Structure 1
Amino acid sequence: MLPALLSLITALTTTAGKPETRPPTHPSVHKVASLKVTVLSTMLADEGMGEWGFSVLVEADGRRILFDTGLHPETVLQNARELGIDLSTVTDVVLSHHHGDHTGGLLALRRELSAKNPRALSRIHVAPGIFLSRRHPGGKEEGNPTIAVKAAMEATGAIFVEHRKPEEIFPGIWLTGPVPRPNPEKYWGPPASIVTATGLVPDSIPEDMSLLVNTDKGFVVVAGCGHAGTVNTVQYGRKILGAEPVYAIIGGLHLFAAPDSALAWTAAKLRSAHLSYLLGAHCTGIEAVFRIRELAALDRKRAVVASVGSSFDAAKGIDPLQLAQ
């Protein structure tokens, strides 16, 4: 099993035999002038409908990107309507990884919005490994829902763009590609296996990818579940963008069941990276947000449990709405 797992990891993180874990030598110095991130899917809901899922709309210098698409087909559609957000002008989608609570709304969104704009959600950014065949414990059927979604999306004219290494998709907006994992942050989610030519290997979610936005106050991380590890992702972001401070982290960090020792270690690392804001959604966990708030020396305005409709603005900070104040 171990040789197969090592071969799989090597295949997913190399091109022409060379590792792709080294960030660009000369990263862009572009920094966005404006940034707003609005939560469209998470468990708590001030507006609309909550669910076990995640989705945010990222708006930076006129660019609009949908990051993840929630669990149920109708959630992001309904919540966007209630928030007065028109998603039909969004062409780019980022899928952080293959789990259904991040990809479940994609096809319904594409079908609904393309009636108004054929280019809506027509370009989907992913990392290698997202379409690998999976199995759940004791199961024989396909365990990766994105395989069928990919075929259905391509039938509508959508395209998938694979990112094997860090790439600047718009000025100041980066995708990490697969994140190197020097720290032992094993937050992989429900047990599952990847199907390989030599058998099943544990699914470490090798495709886990985050979005980075460079601002004049530091960079902002948007994470789906943080399966690659929150600290691993932040450290990689600092390498990609030239050791900038991490200004904000938004999204799921998969810390809801983490032991106190792991929360303390994570908080210490984030504090040393000069974290200013945390909008913890989805699998971060309510208690985990509170512990990091305390241990990273943040306050209730800077470390907040996300709800549907809450937002982060690089110039103004977090708007928690009512529920999470």
Structure 2
Amino acid sequence: MSRIEPVDSAEVHILVDNVTDSLSSVPAFVETEFAGLNRRRQDHWVLGGNCLCCAAHGLSCLITLRRGGETKTLLFDTGPEDRVFEQNVSRLGADLGPVEAIVLSHGHWDHGGAMLQALQMIRDRNGGKRVPYYAHPDMFRKRALKMANGTMRPVEDVPGIEALTDQGADVVNTTEAKSLFGGMAYVSGEIPRVTGFERGLPGQHRLTLDGKGWELDELTMDERFVAVNVKGKGLIVFTACSHAGVVNVLKHAKASFPDVPLYAVAGGLHLSGTNERIIPETVAGLRDFGLSVIAPGHCTGWRAITALVREFGEKILVPLAVGKRYSF
């Protein structure tokens, strides 16, 4: 049975996000991109374009967990493509060498497009050791979006098992939940869909197994979340895109660990585009969890962020941005 053990602290470095924002004020547990540059380089840098990160449509989080004298590092998604990932890692001074596991949240290009590059960079730093890579079988299905005129718009595939294996990944391809690092982190299995309003990604289809046609795939059942349990706080849930619906995600996290309070949720809430219609129900649903931190980013959208800050206030609502570092 999968389990989750308390850790002393969790640090989350945002390597890729849709937004860059180093000027807005932040609470004490968050460091901006500029502040990080200043802390690392002190007086030995000049502010200019060549030191800045690039925002891109996607998400990548470097999660570092500490318990006693033990430190474990997890890469959760990579964003959409090699150049942005490599540039941001370099400019942030992020060390990928300690990464001991990679989790792809779901099979969409904006989360897995730079996976092969990430593996190369990790293995360049770790002495060539292979890296466990947690995936779901449906992530590797070919997908498309159905347009209003009935045509199919193909969606770029994420790297397949053979390519990942050749690049140094040991692929754990399963629908089941898994504990990582002796219980210090948890990767969910498939997320039950229990709310009436969270209906996935409208218009998404996938190629049938016989390759002869398309079938509806709006639920995106390959999506999983990562959770950690920080001592004295509770569960921090990382939800990359929330195609399952963030309320469904948090309900499943709470059901999986009923004795651990929910503390924070971070990631894309997918309340933009056609999903703007469910912003009121989502905001209402989030009230039930008593969260201390809501850190939305990526595909959440400004309308949803505005609604969330109106409901929960600036002490709870702390949006993501590339280069930000959260310390829990």
| TM-score of the superposed pair, with normalisation by structure 1 | 0.80
The more displaced of 115-124 and 81-90 is: 115-124
Aligned: 1:75 with 2:84: yes
Q: Conserved in 2, the CA contact under 8 Å of 1:110 and 1:120?
A: no
- SS of the residue aligned with 2:286? helix
Residue in 2 that maps onto 1:41 = 16
Within 5 A, what are the aligned runs for 1:137-176?
137=146, 138=151, 143=155, 145-146=157-158, 148-170=159-181, 171-176=183-188
Residue in 2 that maps onto 1:12 = none
Q: Which has the higher relative contact order, 1 or 2, with Cα contacts under 8 A spaced 6 or more apart?
A: 2
Q: Read off the aligned partner of 1:209 and give its amino acid letter.
A: R
Q: Conserved in 2, the CA contact under 8 Å of 1:97 and 1:208?
A: yes
Q: Read off the aligned partner of 1:266 and give its amino acid letter.
A: T
CA distance in 2, matches of 1:29, 1:132: 30
CA distance in 1, matches of 2:250, 2:9: 21
Deviation at 1:95, TM superposition (A): 0.2
Q: Read off the aligned partner of 1:308 and give its amino acid letter.
A: V
Deviation at 1:34, TM superposition (A): 0.5
CA distance in 1, matches of 2:3, 2:279: 33
Deviation at 1:246, TM superposition (A): 1.9
Residues 86-111 of structure 1 deviation map (CA, whole Å, 9 limit, x = unaligned): 11221311000111010011111222
Residues 240-263 of structure 1 deviation map (CA, whole Å, 9 limit, x = unaligned): 112533211111110123666622
Unaligned runs of 5+ in 1: 1-23, 315-325
CA distance in 1, matches of 2:308, 2:128: 40
Residues 61-114 of structure 1 deviation map (CA, whole Å, 9 limit, x = unaligned): 111101001101121221122111111221311000111010011111222332
Residue in 2 that maps onto 1:114 = 123
- SS of the residue aligned with 1:65? strand
Q: What is the number of residues matched between the two proteins? A: 285
Q: Conserved in 1, the CA contact under 8 Å of 2:4 and 2:185?
A: no
CA distance in 2, matches of 1:187, 1:293: 24
Deviation at 1:154, TM superposition (A): 1.1
Aligned: 1:188 with 2:201: yes
Within 5 A, what are the aligned runs for 1:12-31?
28=3, 30-31=5-6
- SS of the residue aligned with 2:133? strand
Q: Read off the aligned partner of 1:55 and give its amino acid letter.
A: S
Q: Conserved in 2, the CA contact under 8 Å of 1:93 and 1:121?
A: no
Fraction of identical pairs, as percent: 27
Aligned: 1:92 with 2:92: no
Q: Conserved in 1, the CA contact under 8 Å of 2:11 and 2:65?
A: yes
Aligned: 1:213 with 2:218: no
Describe the shift of the 1:85–1:120 C-alpha distance in structure 2 as closer, same or farther (beyond 3 A).
farther
Deviation at 1:301, TM superposition (A): 3.6
CA distance in 2, matches of 1:180, 1:120: 35
CA distance in 2, matches of 1:68, 1:310: 16
The more displaced of 253-262 and 209-218 is: 253-262
- SS of the residue aligned with 2:140? coil
Q: Conserved in 2, the CA contact under 8 Å of 1:90 and 1:120?
A: no
CA distance in 1, matches of 2:14, 2:96: 13
CA distance in 1, matches of 2:87, 2:281: 38
Q: Read off the aligned partner of 2:13 and give its amino acid letter.
A: T
- SS of the residue aligned with 1:57? strand
Unaligned runs of 5+ in 2: 23-51
Q: Conserved in 2, the CA contact under 8 Å of 1:214 and 1:241?
A: no
Q: Conserved in 1, the CA contact under 8 Å of 2:175 and 2:222?
A: no
Residues 120-166 of structure 1 deviation map (CA, whole Å, 9 limit, x = unaligned): 6722111231112334544597x4512x4432221123211123222
Deviation at 1:118, TM superposition (A): 4.2
CA distance in 2, matches of 1:116, 1:80: 13
Describe the shift of the 1:54–1:269 C-alpha distance in structure 2 as closer, same or farther (beyond 3 A).
same
Residue in 2 that maps onto 1:53 = 58
Deviation at 1:200, TM superposition (A): 2.3
Within 5 A, what are the aligned runs for 1:119-134?
119=128, 122-134=131-143
Q: Read off the aligned partner of 2:267 and give its amino acid letter.
A: G
Aligned: 1:303 with 2:317: yes
Describe the shift of the 1:261–1:74 C-alpha distance in structure 2 as closer, same or farther (beyond 3 A).
closer
Q: Conserved in 1, the CA contact under 8 Å of 2:129 and 2:168?
A: no
* Root-mean-square deviation over aligned CA pairs: 2.3
Q: Conserved in 2, the CA contact under 8 Å of 1:229 and 1:253?
A: yes
| TM-score of the superposed pair, with normalisation by structure 2 | 0.79
Q: Conserved in 2, the CA contact under 8 Å of 1:135 and 1:195?
A: no
Describe the shift of the 1:285–1:260 C-alpha distance in structure 2 as closer, same or farther (beyond 3 A).
closer
Residue in 2 that maps onto 1:32 = 7
